[in-house]
Amino acid sequence: KKTIVWLRRDLRVQDNVALSKACELSECVIPIFIFDTNILNQLKNNEDRRVSFIFQTLKKLEAELKESKKGLLILYGDPMLEVPKIVKKLNIEAVFCNKDYEGYAKKRDSYICNELNGSGISFYSLKDQVIFEENEILNLQDKPYKVFTPYKNMWLKKLKEVNLKQHIFNKDKLIDLNNIKEIKIDYSLQDIGFKSSQIHLLPGREGALEKLKIFAKKIDRYHLNRDLFDEDGTSQLSVHLRFGTISIRELFCFADKHNSQGAVIWKNELIWREFYKMILCQFPNVENSSFKREYENIKWENNSEFYEKWCVGMTGYPIIDAAMRHFNKTGWMHNRLRMVVASFLCKDLLIDYKKGEKYFAENLLDYDLSANNGGWQWSASTGCDAQPYFRIFNPEAQSKKFDPNGNYIRQFCPELKLFDEKSIHAPSSANHKVLNSAKCRLGVDYPNPIIQHDVQRLKAIKLFK
């Protein structure tokens, strides 16, 4: 029996449930990846970093498979047409893939499943991306949790019943691609209308293992260092988790070997990831509207000039500007900075969180609908288990606490590099002497603050009330 394993957000062969199952149940397996035009056509930038990351990862995977004379088919088009087409051309009996929980993916997969089933072809969609999915963690009334801590407690309780074994696959079952002549099986970035862009990190499983090796030395101190902007105290594995270059089971087993407080806190973050995926499945409306429906009526000011200044990092608040400039340059942002810039957009600039969510969606290398939506709705206080609306981050206080020497700001706002560690967090409060010695003309070299935090804070509370 000849089958296909269709890779999507699981760009690896190690511990891949669909691949393992396909090899178990078939005589011959063809791995494919499809550059999905329904997704690509929506990207604004033809140098999108995510496309480069995927492309480079696929090339590495291809090279890995070629070592044993196996291969990977890289296709391009609308999967709703491409999958049935290739199944017919290659005389395939079943398609295996790992489940994707986002709205578009669910519709696409259900359409393909129906098409294939109609012609007697099986479509297997398997759990791989998470340890517990959709409706596996429910409360005692069989309802989804809306608060993280009880969800986490139940999650950890259920974990005791699960064996996180690695899924192995039989390489001999993979097809030698020299045997496939019927279709074009390889596309370059140019062929699909994109250019290569700098991604500032190593793609593929190799990149994931490199990050894991570095993090193994840091995990025990994660709880102490994870909030410091200048410290690299977190794993930076989110991009790899997003594209599945490493499995969640492998990461959880890694953390389990570290018997430390840092490892416990880090595992909580992996559970937050599953919490937001569960929320997206159980409450799909969050994709377009507030979890707390009453907050849909907030009259955001939506000042477009403020929004532009936030995007480019010219707000006059150094920590916001450093974070946004770093983000624009690399597609990466530290978790606490994501919370601080998100809070600033909603509660200082009084702009709808959906605009910030969209900007992140367009530019984050690790963009994931559920985590991004969860993070934004948490910060905007519109989400489940969110920050209460009256708790508003003070950007200057956050900056002093988590970038105490100002080194992070100096790195991304070089015009402020001569400020001392006390005044760098709020140059506009510095006296003439300090400004002169820092060689910085406010309003010329660096902007004056576009808003006053204390004033906006009160306005935000009123808006919510």
Could you tell me which residues are annotated as the binding site for FAD?
222, 234-238, 266, 269-276, 366-368
Nearer to ligand FAD, 171 or 223 (CB): 223
Distance CA 97, CA 55 (A): 19
Q: Compute the least distance from the CB of residue 158 to ligand FAD, in Å.
A: 19
Nearer to ligand FAD, 191 or 232 (CB): 232
Nearer to ligand FAD, 234 or 423 (CB): 234
Query: By CB under 6 A, is residue 151 in contact with ligand FAD?
Result: no
Q: Which tokens go with 259?
A: 């018997």
Nearer to ligand FAD, 109 or 385 (CB): 385
Question: Could you say which of 339, 350, 384, 460 contacts ligand FAD (CB under 6 A)?
Answer: 339
Cβ neighbours of 290 (radius 10 Å) = 21
Give the interface segment with ligand FAD, choosing from 159-167, 190-198, 365-373, 429-437 (CB under 6 A): 365-373
**Residue 401 CB partners (closer than 8 Å, separation 6+):** none
Interface of this chain with ligand FAD, residues 276 to 305, rule: CB under 6 A: 276
Query: By CB under 6 A, is residue 342 in contact with ligand FAD?
Result: yes
CA atoms within 13 A on the CB side of 443: 1
Backbone CA torsion sign across 353, 363, 331, 53? positive
Distance CA 174, CA 22 (A): 10
Nearer to ligand FAD, 330 or 335 (CB): 335
Question: What is the per-residue DSSP string for 382-394?
Answer: -STTPPPTT----
CA atoms within 13 A on the CB side of 457: 9
Q: How far is CA 42 from CA 28, 36, 38, 48, 362, in A?
A: 35, 10, 7, 11, 10
Question: Could you say which of 10, 321, 348, 366 contacts ligand FAD (CB under 6 A)?
Answer: 366
Give the interface segment with ligand FAD, choosing from 95-103, 118-126, 134-142, 265-273 (CB under 6 A): 265-273
Q: Compute the least distance from the CB of residue 379 to ligand FAD, in Å.
A: 5
Distance CA 361, CA 359 (A): 5
Q: How far is CA 335 from CA 11, 262, 366, in A?
A: 24, 16, 12
Nearer to ligand FAD, 70 or 277 (CB): 277
What amino acid occupies position 329?
Answer: K
**Residue 354 CB partners (closer than 8 Å, separation 6+):** 376
Question: Could you say which of 76, 111, 300, 367 contacts ligand FAD (CB under 6 A)?
Answer: 367
Q: Which residue is nearest to ligand FAD (CB)?
A: 375
Q: Compute the least distance from the CB of residue 396 to ligand FAD, in Å.
A: 19
Nearer to ligand FAD, 189 or 342 (CB): 342
Nearer to ligand FAD, 86 or 371 (CB): 371
Question: Which three-class secondary structure state does DSSP give residue 207?
Answer: helix
Q: Compute the least distance from the CB of residue 332 to ligand FAD, in Å.
A: 8
Interface of this chain with ligand FAD, residues 371 to 410, rule: CB under 6 A: 371-372, 374-376, 379
Distance CA 255, CA 264 (A): 8
Q: Compute the least distance from the CB of residue 310 to ligand FAD, in Å.
A: 13
Q: Compute the least distance from the CB of residue 431 to ligand FAD, in Å.
A: 35
Q: Which tokens go with 352?
A: 């709808």
Question: Could you say which of 16, 20, 98, 235 contacts ligand FAD (CB under 6 A)?
Answer: 235
Give the interface segment with ligand FAD, choosing from 39-47, 111-119, 304-312, 331-339 (CB under 6 A): 331-339
Give the interface segment with ligand FAD, choosing from 107-115, 131-139, 198-206, 235-243 (CB under 6 A): 235-243
Nearer to ligand FAD, 194 or 360 (CB): 360
Please, what is the Cα angle at 418 between 417 and 419, to 5 degrees? 95
Question: What is the per-residue DSSP string for 25-77?
Answer: H-SEEEEEEEEEHHHHTT-S-TT-HHHHHHHHHHHHHHHHHHTTT---EEEEE
Question: Could you say which of 18, 270, 346, 416 contacts ligand FAD (CB under 6 A)?
Answer: 270
Helices 395-402 and 318-330 sit at what angle, rounded to 10 degrees?
Answer: 70
Question: Could you say which of 12, 338, 347, 355 contacts ligand FAD (CB under 6 A)?
Answer: 338
In the sheet with 122-126, reading across from the earlier edge strand, the strands are 73-77, 28-36, 2-7, 94-98, 122-126
Residue found by looking up tokens 């992140």 in the block: 360
Query: By CB under 6 A, is residue 218 in contact with ligand FAD?
Result: no
Give the interface segment with ligand FAD, choosing from 106-114, 146-154, 267-275, 438-446 (CB under 6 A): 267-275
Question: Pairing between strand 94-98 and 73-77?
Answer: unpaired
Partner residues linked to 140 by β-bridges: none
Q: Are 238 and 228 in contact (CB under 8 A)?
A: no
Nearer to ligand FAD, 238 or 290 (CB): 238
Q: Compute the least distance from the CB of residue 125 to ligand FAD, in Å.
A: 22
Count of residues that interact with ligand FAD, criterion CB under 6 A? 28
Residues that bind ligand FAD (CB under 6 A): 226, 234-238, 241-242, 269-270, 272-273, 276, 335, 338-339, 342, 360, 364, 366-368, 371-372, 374-376, 379
